[in-house]
Amino acid sequence: MDGREATEDGTITEIYSIACHKISAHLQLDCCSSHSVLPWQGKHLMIHSITDPSQKPLHLTGHHGDVSAVSFGKGRDPLMLCSASEDYVIAWDVERCYRKAREGAIASGTVIGTLIGKIVHLSFCPLDKRVSACSGSNMYILNSKKEEVLAVLKGHLGPLTASVFFPWDPNVLVSTSEDRTFKVWDVTKEEILYQSAVLSSCPLLCVYVTEEGRQLITGSADGQVWHHTVLDDYKCRLVMKLDLPNMEQTQRRIQESQAQQISGFGSNSTGDGVMVEMAKPVLGIFTFKPLPYSGHTKERDGSCLWIGSSDGLYLVNLASSELLMALRFKDYPDLSITLAGSLSVTQKTDCDIHCAVTSMFQPRMALWDIRLPGQLDRLCSQLEKALPGQELSVVPSSPPMPTSPLNAELTRRDPKPPKKTGPGPGKPGGVKDQSVVFHAQVKSSGYAVGSQRKMFTPKTNIQKKAQRPTKKSKKIEGLLSEYPSGLAAPTVQHALLSASPTHTPVFCLQYSGDGKQILCGLGDTSVLLYKSSLTGNPSVYTGHSKALSSVCCSHSCGWILSASEDQSVRIWAAGSREPTLTMGSDRFSAPVRSAQFYYLDKFLLLASGSSVHLFLSHLDTSRDDLKRYEQKSFSRLVRRFSTKSGTDITAMSAINDFFSYIVLSCGADRSIQVFDLNVGSVAMEIPESHSRAAHHITQNKGSMYSAQAQDSYNLFLTSAITDGIKLWDLRTSRCVRKYEGHVNRCHQCTAAFSPCGRFVATGSEDNCAYVYDIRSSSYLHKLQRHTDTVLNVAFNPAAPEVNSK
C-alpha cells in the first residue's frame, strides 16, 4: 500500500492505493458513511474506517474464490456487510468482526449462499433481513441471517447488472439487465409489477431508488440516464432523460462563453490539446445533499445526484437537468487511477465525499477523499445569486429614471382650425350678421297663441309599476370573486367547441384580463373572440393575409391586438369590425413574432427580426363619413432594442398587468435575453438555454383576482421542441426545474402558468394537455378527449379553468 499526497488545491486526496494480483475492472464496490470495503488479494476483504483514519484496516478471510461483489447494509446498529464469490455468499457483522480482531481471534461471517454462480451485484433490503444476489439472468433472494434461498426471480432475457430494494417497501425491488430493460418485482409473490420497454441500444448498468419523491433512476453504458417516478401501483412514469456527454459539452460551451464575456476577448482556448469525444458509461448513481453553508440557512431540495463515469464524477441537478459540477480524474495528476472501471461514492456529514474506485486497465484499487467546502460555497452561491451587479426583478423597486424610454409621451395632433371663407362684416365677401341663438329653429314666445281654456286635472288613480328584481349572472358573480387558490388543478371537461369547420389550427390563445372573454388566432388569418363559457357565436375580426402569430387583449379589455406573418399589426376596438390602427409591412423588415400591450396599455411592444420595438399609440375610433378609410389613430416609434448577438427573436414576453421594466426574449441562437427598458439595454443574457431555439416564453403574471408573493413573479417558462419546458428564476438566471412528461417533437406547443402560480399546463402532440405541479417534474393530470395535437393552453384568470386548443 502506498499513500499519495493531496493535489495543490486539496480537492481530491488519495487516502490509499493498493495493487491487485489481476485487473478487477467491474467489481461491485461499496462505501458507507463510516466504512469502506475493497477486495484485497482477490479472496480477502479489507475494511477501512472513514470516521477514524488512525484505526488499522480490518482484514476478513473466508472466501475460496475471488470476491466479485460487496455491499453494506442499510442500518448502522449493527452494520452489516455482504460479500460474494463463486463459492460462497457471506454476511458479516462489522462491529463483531472488529471486536474479534481486537481479541486476537479470527473474524468470521455467516454463509448465506453456496455455489450460486458468479454474482455481479448484491443489495440489502431496508431492514437488512434479505439480500438480493444477481447471477446470470437470475436473481436470488437470500436470508441474511442463515443459509436460505427465499426466492429465485426469473424474467430477464440477458445477464443482470444491478438490483435495489425500494426504501419504502422491503417487499419490492427493481433490477436492470443487459437486455436494456428494468423490472419491478414483488418478492413475496415472485411477480413482475412493472416492466419497462427497451430504453437504449446499450446495456443498463446501474439503478438508484430514492424515497424522496419516489424516484427511480437508471443509467446505461452510453451515458444515458432515465429518470422515472414510481406511482402508487408501482408503475413507473418517465419524467426526463439525461444525456451525460451532451450535458458536459453544454457546460463547457457556457463556461467558454462566460469567460469571453468577462475577459472581453476572443476564445480563451489555448489550443494545447484536441478534445476527443469518448464514451461515458454510467457506472453508478449516488445521492448528494448539500448542507447549509456560511451565511445561508436555506435548506436545499436534495435533488442532486452524483453520476460516476469512467473519466470522472458529475454532480447533476435532477430538477433542472443541469450539470452543476464535473470532477475529471485526469485533472488531478497525482491520482494513481485516471480511468475507472467501477466506483462507489458516499457522503460524510461535513459534505466531504469518499470514493472507492478500481482501475479500468491496471490491477489497482484506491480510496479517495474529495473535499468540497470551497467548491460547494461557489456552487450554492451560483444557485442563489445572479451575476455580479445584475440584481434583476420583474417588480420594480424604484421609479423610472429621468432618461428612461418609459417616460416618453405622445404629442397629440391638434386639429387645424377651419379656414374662414365667405363675406365678413363691413367687408365685401365677409361674414354676415346672424342672430345669437344656439339652434336653427327658435321656439315661439306664445303671444300669437290663443288663451288656454281648460286647466290641468290631476291624476288620482295612479298604479305604480312593480319593480322587477334584477337577475345577476352566476358567471359574472364567479368572475368577480377571488380566485380560489387552494383548489386542485382542473381535470373535468365542461365544454367542447370546434373553432373552425375546416379544422383550421389555432396558433395563439389568450384570455382577457377579467376572464369574461377568450381570444383565438387562427391559421386562416382570422381572429375569434368568444365568451369564456364558449357559448354563442364569436366575434370575427379579419384583415390579415397570412396566419396569426400573436393575439393580445388590452388591460382595459377594450382593445384587441393581432400580429401576423404578413408583417402587419392590427388593433381593433372590441365590437368593431374594422381595425382602428393598422401598422403595415413598411414598419418592419421581418414578420412580427410577438406583439402585446405593455406598461398598463401605454405602449405597444413588438418583436420583429432581431429587435424589440417600443411604440406609443393614439387610438381614435371616430371616423369621417366622407373620408371613411382615413385613420385618425396613429403610432410613433419610441425606441428599438436589439439583441446582443444580433440573433432573430423567436418569442417574447412582458407583463402588462402592472408596471414592470423587464422584457424577456428568446433568440434563434438558443439564448434568453433580458431587456431592462428602464435602462434601455440588454441587462442579462443566458446562453444555451435549450438544446434547440425556444419557440415560446411566458411569465408568471398572476391575475387581478389572485395575488402572489413578490418573488413569484420572477419565474418564467420556456418551451423548445424535443427539449421540454424549463422553469427559470430571473433572480439567479438559472433553470430551477424541467418538465418532460409530455410529447413535443415537431410542433410548437405552448405552456401557461395558473393564476395562483401552483400549476403549469402545456399542450402535447399525443392529443392531450398536461398539468404539472410547479414543484414536481412529474405531471399531475393528463387531459384527454382532444382529436388532434394540442398547441395552446390558457388558464382562466378568474376561475379554476384551463382552455386547450
What's the whole-number mean pLDDT along residues 176-195?
A: 94
pLDDT tens digit sequence for 620-673: 888 777 676 777 889 999 999 999 989 999 999 999 999 999 999 999 999 999
Helix (H) or strand (E) holding 774: none
Contact at 8 Å (CB) between 146 and 187?
no
Mind giving me the DSSP string for 260-289?
HHHH-SS-----SS----------EEEEE-
Q: Considering only CA atoms, which of 320, 358, 306, 315 is closest in space to residue 337?
A: 358
- pLDDT computed for residue 614 by the predictor: 96
Lowest mean pLDDT among 212-226, 282-296, 404-418, 536-550: 282-296
Domains in the chain with CATH codes: 11-252+278-290+301-372 (2.130.10.10), 505-587 (2.40.10)
pLDDT tens digit sequence for 672-684: 999 999 999 999 9
Strand-pairing partners, residue 71, are 82
Helix (H) or strand (E) holding 254: helix 244-263
Integer Rg of the chain from CA: 36
- pLDDT computed for residue 264 by the predictor: 53
Query: How many angstroms separate the CA atoms of 736 and 732, rounded?
Result: 9
- Indicate the average pLDDT of the chain: 84
Query: How many angstroms separate the CA atoms of 777 and 318, rounded?
Result: 9
Contact at 8 Å (CB) between 292 and 309?
no
Distant-in-sequence, close-in-space partners of 597: CB < 8 Å, separation ≥ 6: 552, 554, 555, 559, 561, 603, 604, 605, 656
Is the confidence at residue 721, as pLDDT, over 50? yes
pLDDT tens digit sequence for 369-424: 888 755 454 555 444 444 444 578 999 989 999 999 999 998 765 555 555 555 55
What's the whole-number mean pLDDT along residues 482-495?
A: 78
